[in-house]
Amino acid sequence: MADNSLFGHLTDQLGHFKNLAHLSLARNKISGPIPSSIGELSFLKFFDVSENQLNGTFPLCFGQLESLETLDFGYNLLEGVVLETHFSKLSRLTTLKASQNRLRFEPNPSWIPPFQCEIIELSHWHLGSKFPQWLKFQNKLSVLDISDAGISDVMPTWFLNLPAQFEKLNLSFNQLTGEISNLNVTDTIDLSSNRFTGPLPRVLSSLRILFLSNNSFSGSLSEFICNPSISDMIVLFIDTNLLIGEIPDCWIQWRYLGYLNLENNNLTGNIPFTFGFRNLFMLNLRNNSMFGEFSSNMQSFVSLIMLDLSENHFSGSVPAWIGDKLSNLVILSLRSNNFDGHIPQKICDLSSSDFGPRP
């Protein structure tokens, strides 16, 4: 019954369906509390009420559902305190999705969960200032999202050394500190809006999406960008950090890159010659110290939709080929540079263009 327009409250009569094993009511308009009679469904394996308008607390009765494997009540309006008792008999649980609720969970530091989850998503929960110690015992994790969870701790070494190989890891919007030498994640990493320091971490060659925005990563881009094993990256956001030096000229293997954001760093030099991305949709180099003229190799950016070179020291004329070759361009910002000459008419016809104040 997912993806309908069901509304109203969940009936307390649900407990009468003693043999119910699968209940999916996701993406409806159901409101009110989750009835405690759910605890009577001893054969329930799959429970999904995500993306509704459920409110009230998270019922303690869920801790009695020994058969439960998937529990998803994410994107609702539940609030209150979650206790260890809520999970007391959930030894078969493999998927816990509960993001975007107003719930607080601070178990005893010595708590060992009865489950071994593959997916845990608790974004927007309050998990306490310390990094959750109970994750130390999750050896099968593939997806972990504890973003925006109020954590203000040093990234523990044990977490980086977990035997599990993550597919997706989201720790964004916390206040985590420390250096990260390597990340054992195969697909997606989001560490943005923390306080990480040190050089950029080493990542797996299969990684496709990397968000490191709004931290204090420092040093050069060279070792990271020139790593020949990185070839599948699609999204790379390292904006608002403390990176220095020139952008290295070794982008040939980055053939799938679609989104590159390096704004708000201390990068210098010209745009590299190997910047020849036919699949690039967004390039943001705003607020660095880069210089030089438009490189002719940028004519190959045929898929580009957004280009921001503002607040740098670029010079020379704005080439007319921008309007011809970059026919998909929608947003162009060149303000606060040292460009001279006339602005080609075809560029002025863009949906959104910003060349700075006019005399």
Residue-range domains of the chain with CATH:
1-149 (3.80.10.10), 176-359 (3.80.10.10)
Neighbours of 29 (CB within 10 A): 12
pLDDT band at residue 311 under the 50/70/90 scheme: very high
At 55-98, the pLDDT tens digits run 999 999 999 999 999 999 999 999 999 999 999 999 999 999 99
Three-state DSSP class for 354? strand
Separation between Cα atoms, residue 149 and residue 129, nearest integer Å = 8
Q: What is the mean pLDDT of residues 190-209?
A: 97
Q: Give residue 358's pLDDT.
A: 41
**Across residues 188-197, what is the average pLDDT?**
98
Q: Report percent pLDDT > 90 for the chain.
A: 79
Query: 268 Cβ partners below 8 Å, 6+ apart?
Result: 244, 245, 246, 288, 289, 290, 291
Instruction: State yes or no: pLDDT of 163 exceeds 80.
Output: no
How far apart (Å, rounded) are the C-alpha atoms in residues 330 and 281? 10
Mean pLDDT, the chain, whole residue set: 93
**Is the pLDDT score of 3 beyond 70?**
no
222 three-class SS: helix
Q: Are 231 and 258 in contact (CB under 8 A)?
A: no
pTM exceeding 0.75? yes
pLDDT score, position 344? 80
Q: Give yes or no for residue 140 having a pLDDT over 80.
A: yes
- Cβ-based burial of 16 (10 A; exposed 0-12, middle 13-18, buried ≥19): exposed
Given this model, what pLDDT does residue 359 score?
37
Distance CA(309)–CA(339), nearest Å, equals: 11
> What mean pLDDT do residues 210-230 have?
96
Task: Select from 40, 90, 99, 104 the least CA-distant residue to 72.
Answer: 99
* Residue 41 pLDDT grade (very low, low, confident, very high; cuts 50, 70, 90): very high
3-state SS class at 104: strand
Mean pLDDT computed over 196-219:
97
pLDDT for position 353: 53
Determine contact, residues 117/92, Cβ cutoff 8 Å: no
| pLDDT band at 101; cut points 50, 70, 90 | very high
Question: What pLDDT, in 10s, does the model give residues 238-256?
Answer: 999 999 999 999 999 899 9
Question: How far apart, in whole angstroms, are the C-alpha atoms of residue 108 and residue 159?
Answer: 18
What span, in angstroms and rounded, lies between the C-alpha atoms of 109 and 105? 12
Give the separation between CA 188 and CA 174, rounded to whole angstroms: 18
Count the residues in the chain.
359
CB atoms within 10 A of CB 168: 18
